[in-house]
Structure 1
Amino acid sequence: MSQDRSLTRVRVEGLFGRFNHRVDFPAGDTFVIVHGPNGVGKTRLLDLVSALAWPVNFTELTRTPFRSLELQFSDNSVLTVEKTETQEPNGLRFHLRGEKVETETWSPRESDATSDALRRTLLRSPSRFESLSRRERDLRNLLLHRSDVDVWSVLSELNPEIQRDLHEFMGEPAPQSLREFLSDFKVHFIDTHRLRGLQSSEEQPGRARTAASPTKVEEFSKELRGRLAKALEDNSRTSQDLDRTYPRRLLEEPADVSEQEIRDRYVEQEEWRRRLGEVSLVDEQTEVIDIPEEMEPWQRAVLWTYLRDTEDKLSTFNDILDRVSLLRDVVNSRFLFKTLEIDGNQGFKITNDDDGEELDLTSLSSGEQHELVLTYDLLFNTEPGALVLIDEPEISLHVSWQKAFMRDLQKIAELVKFRTIIATHSPQIAGKWADRMVVLGPDTE
């Protein structure tokens, strides 16, 4: 969601035919905690909010019993989804209003027919999808071969160009202003199935896990390896550009600096290199420069230009360095007798503290995997400005880990820049933030 528009209230009426819930989320707050007994619809509330991000998950909206769902935003815009009886083709009516948005009303076509049309399209035009990533090809195969798969949730995983092509089967297209509004509503949902890896289309429930069905920890480890490789590629391009122009800049840019300024900057960069070396982004074994106490002007010019170039080169790693460093710090503050290392060839590398032996990622306990997956997902898969929905972060976590959750979440949110709605049963999650808790129950509204 844009910086000048953030979610400030969620209201649902008639959830399961009995509950009316309201969650206020002041624009100045970075998180709100939703708490309540089983069965009052905490998870479904998150599901409904997530369903409204474009492309809309009509399956979730139509299968969940409710009368109306209303989202209010800090710019006074309001998005309402109403369930109707027979007036609309699929029982849904969208209404958008506000001072800074066009007022729109839209009713999409019946979703089952849409699902069939999507599958027909995927079967009819296989060449159209040759450029898909492996993950997207797996998702396409799920659509083709598994009738129980939720089409709209799979569609949301495909790239935007393919989404646009397939959305033509939604019937009457959504008004542009509504489509833009929903596209700007960025939501990242971390549900209770966060350890579930992507299953191949041939894999059936109950079968043993195969090489084609990695765990989520393994998926994220491979993904991190790719991110590290891309960071190195970006750094290489920057380095080549700077090296090519180094002689000209050396001659054109006089260095009016002292020996002490040069020494201070060099020490800072050595610490920078050390941190980058810890996460496999640079070689720590660089030759040490012995900076003289007194230098000739040409020596200062050479060293200062070298240091400026080095800073520009190392700066290409800033974003990923901050994220992997926080990932490592959070995870290692939890793990006992084992350590997470960041490895350029592997992604995640877990070693035994006793003998230094490497451990298989699948040997991690459920709680350790939850901690690693949740922290990585928040740091690397969440867009700045997004609304993050986290369902039951306490799953498989020891009480001491639950108590530390909000502290770490705030560090991550400050770095990535997102806001969060947390649904939980655990009072330990809230801790000292009980005033940020919204209690949902039979008599709340």
Structure 2
Amino acid sequence: MTRLVSFRVVNLLGQFNHEAKFNPGAEFIILHGPNGVGKTRMLELLEAVFRFDLFAISDSYFESITLRFSGGESLVITNHASRHPSEKRRRILDVTFSLSGGENFRKSRGRVQLSGEEYPLAFWRDIQNEIGQTFEADASPSAKLQALEHAGQAYMPARLRRPDSVHGLLDLSSFDRAIVEFLDNFQIHMVQTQRLLILDASNDQRRRPTERPPQRMKVSECANDLSRRLAAALTENSRRSQELDKSFPRRVMDDMTMGQVPSEEKIREEYAEQSELRNRLASIALLDESMDVPLQSEELLPWQRKVLWTYLQDSQNKLATFQDLLHRVELFRSIISSRFLFKRLVISRESGFRFTNDFGQVIAPSQLSSGEQHEIVLLYDLLFGVRSGSLVLIDEPEISLHVAWQQKFMADIQRIAKLSNLRFIVATHSPQIVNEWWAQTIGLNASTSEARA
């Protein structure tokens, strides 16, 4: 798997040069520095590049950024609009991509130019909206480029078209598709500072322009999502169980007439392991009870060993449908239980999760403190909302977190990274977040940053 190993940005916000790199085998780096040096902008720019979000790249206000990868590839993005005065820069999209190195050692280039400087700012926003509606934000870079290529001049809002100005509005004929195909290989996930509320845009057309969209608690959405995941896992387990049960008699008879007889020690060992796994699954509401009947203490006859071995193989196959969800829920529960005082996390098929206090009273997730909700939402997002192999960008994880929780945060990140094969770039003001991880910290300041990780 090709991974980002370093990046360098020149003239971010018109004045900062920042550079950072991952240690070999490291799961994360930490960007640390005072307000105003561009930590958040750095994360936003990285997200925009990997998502091939052209307007977001242009709006980031930088001169160039160079990304280097584990396969030897180098991707350089130059923002030509940064050379224009601020009043013009807001209406110009002029970005060049240059990809080189890697297995083919072929240099690929592409430039996207779009100018609205001769029009009012409202026109520029209209173009952005028109383009933005053409594809989903999380569409692949190749899909985005294809949408841009096919739409061509159609992005110009009809009410603003003029015969002498629409030609050449957006020309991507010389853009090398190898660039977006390379970017297709990466998954990016951005964790924003605003984590507790979700704006509900489902009824946008019915709402008056001055009316604010309704908000939903993100922590409640997390609980509902876990309920859906538990239900989906149970459905898949039921489907697989039915398939195996249909053929069980035939396979038992086959095993009775052929094949080796497993040893009694092996059977009892497997039986004990599955019993322990069933107990773990029962604790997160995926099974109602543990192993039905304990094995007899008397020595097993050969035919009993053959029947039991077929049963255990089937059981292992069925329980495998729960494995990934089990590991994630257990880690989620482990971290939350070590943080929350006087509350017990309860996993439930109906509610996903809820809490009880020392008096047995039920506490809904939405009734927790803002710090507790931030911890839940952030952990849940990382464990259940991020694809395996992703690069995860986290901005200010310290928000609303107790100092003791901040000190443990990067250790939690390391556990999550190993479970889901993730890598992290964390931007923070907090020395407590950094804690013992200074060797993997890059200090961003008003001059060129030296990579220390």
**TM-score normalised by the chain length of structure 1:** 0.84
Deviation at 1:118, TM superposition (A): 7.8
Deviation at 1:192, TM superposition (A): 0.8
For residue 178 of structure 2, what is the aligned residue in structure 1? 177
Q: 1:46 aligns with which of 43, 47, 64?
A: 43
Q: Does 1:18 align with 2:21?
A: no
Q: Does 1:248 align with 2:245?
A: no
Q: Secondary structure of the residue that 1:72 maps to in structure 2?
A: strand
1:185-264 equivalent positions in 2, closer than 5 A = 185-200=186-201, 201-202=203-204, 210=214, 213-253=215-255, 254=259, 256-264=261-269
Q: Does 1:388 align with 2:392?
A: yes
In 1, Cα distance between the equivalents of 2:109 and 2:301? 74
Large movers: runs of 4+ above 6 Å = 86-89, 111-115, 158-162, 203-209
In 2, Cα distance between the equivalents of 1:98 and 1:433? 32
Cα pair 2:23 2:440 within 8 Å, conserved: no
Q: Secondary structure of the residue that 1:409 maps to in structure 2?
A: helix
**TM-score normalised by the chain length of structure 2:** 0.82
Deviation at 1:290, TM superposition (A): 3.9
Q: Does 1:331 align with 2:327?
A: no
Q: Does 1:321 align with 2:326?
A: yes
In 2, Cα distance between the equivalents of 1:95 and 1:394? 36
1:34-433 equivalent positions in 2, closer than 5 A = 34-54=31-51, 56-85=52-81, 90-101=93-104, 102-110=106-114, 116=126, 151=132, 155-157=136-138, 166-167=147-148, 168-169=150-151, 171=170, 172=172, 174-200=175-201, 201-202=203-204, 210=214, 213-253=215-255, 254=259, 256-284=261-289, 287-352=292-357, 354-433=358-437
Deviation at 1:109, TM superposition (A): 4.4
Cα pair 2:279 2:290 within 8 Å, conserved: no
Deviation at 1:188, TM superposition (A): 0.9
In 1, Cα distance between the equivalents of 2:230 and 2:325? 8
**1:404-443 CA distances to partner (integer Å, 9 max, x unpaired)?**
1111111110010011111111111111111111101012
Deviation at 1:64, TM superposition (A): 2.0
**1:209-242 CA distances to partner (integer Å, 9 max, x unpaired)?**
85xx322112222222222222112212221121
Cα pair 1:94 1:105 within 8 Å, conserved: yes
In 1, Cα distance between the equivalents of 2:373 and 2:134? 24
Structure 1 range deviating more: 168-177 or 414-423: 168-177
Pair 1:277–1:304, CA change in 2 (3 A): same
For residue 148 of structure 1, what is the aligned residue in structure 2? none
Amino acid at match of 1:18: Q
Q: Secondary structure of the residue that 1:377 maps to in structure 2?
A: helix
In 2, Cα distance between the equivalents of 1:158 and 1:185? 12
Pair 1:390–1:250, CA change in 2 (3 A): same
In 2, Cα distance between the equivalents of 1:406 and 1:309? 39
In 1, Cα distance between the equivalents of 2:125 and 2:144? 13
In 2, Cα distance between the equivalents of 1:152 and 1:182? 21
Deviation at 1:199, TM superposition (A): 2.5
In 1, Cα distance between the equivalents of 2:198 and 2:128? 24
**1:379-420 CA distances to partner (integer Å, 9 max, x unpaired)?**
112222211111111111111001111111111100100111
In 1, Cα distance between the equivalents of 2:382 and 2:210? 30
Pair 1:160–1:288, CA change in 2 (3 A): farther
Pair 1:263–1:387, CA change in 2 (3 A): same
Q: Secondary structure of the residue that 2:184 maps to in structure 1?
A: helix
Deviation at 1:26, TM superposition (A): 3.1
In 2, Cα distance between the equivalents of 1:299 and 1:282? 26
Pair 1:114–1:177, CA change in 2 (3 A): farther
Q: Secondary structure of the residue that 2:238 maps to in structure 1?
A: helix
Deviation at 1:164, TM superposition (A): 7.4
In 2, Cα distance between the equivalents of 1:192 and 1:390? 8
Unpaired runs of 5+ residues, structure 1, are: 122-150
CA RMSD of aligned residues (A): 2.9
Cα pair 1:118 1:166 within 8 Å, conserved: no
Pair 1:209–1:274, CA change in 2 (3 A): farther
In 1, Cα distance between the equivalents of 2:209 and 2:326? 39
